[in-house]
Amino acid sequence: MTREVLNARRLLCPLPVIRTQDKVKKMQPGDQLEVICTDPGVMQDIPTWCRINGHKVLELLSGDHEYTVILEVGDDKLNKLPIDLTM
């Protein structure tokens, strides 16, 4: 397990989400990423992004106009359903 830090200060949403997404792509399941931001929107957007993409938010921290999200990379294998034409 490795832990990395992503500086997303001064970026406005959705850029912190995009940078998180691109960073997570290069990480392994179980790795942790600490994303440090100044846009309060990340407190909502990164957890949403984690939920829909199968990653886990470990901690949300806010203080002095900085917002930090610590997440754990999930097993993000594509799991496509077969086409079902019976519906």
Partner 1 sequence: MISGGLDSMLAARTIQEQGIHVEGINFFTGFCVEGHTHAIREKDKAKPKRNNSLWVAEQLGIKLHIVDVIEEYKNVLLNPKHGYGQHMNPCLDCKIFMVNKAKQWIVENDFDFIITGEVIGQRPMSQRKATMPIVARESGADDLLLRPLCAKNLPATLPEREGWVDREKLHDITGRSRKPQMAMAKDFGIDEYSQPAGGCCFLTDKYYSAKLVDLWKARDSREYELDDVMLLKVGRHIRPQPHYKLIIAREEGEGRFLEGYKKDYISMKCVSHQGPLVLIDGTIAAEDLYLAASITARYGQGREAEQVEINVLYQDGAERCLQVKPMLEQDIPKAWFI
* Contact set with partner 1 (CB under 8 A): 9-10, 12-15, 17-18, 21-22, 38-41, 44-45, 48-49, 51-53, 65, 78, 80-87
**Taking the complex as a whole, how short is the minimal distance between the CB of residue 6 and partner 1, in angstroms?**
14
Helix (H, G, I), strand (E, B), or coil: what is residue 86?
coil
Amino acid identity for residue 81 in this structure = L
CB nearer to partner 1: pick between 50 and 70: 50
Distance CA 26, CA 4 (A): 11
2 versus 48: smaller Cβ distance to partner 1: 48
For partner 1, the closer CB: 36 or 41: 41
CB of 27 to partner 1, least distance (A): 16
Beta bridge partners of 57: 71
**Residue 13 appears among annotated catalytic residues:** yes
Residue 59 backbone dihedrals phi, psi, to 5 degrees: -155, 145
Question: Residue 62 has which token pair?
Answer: 């806010």
Residues with catalytic roles: 13
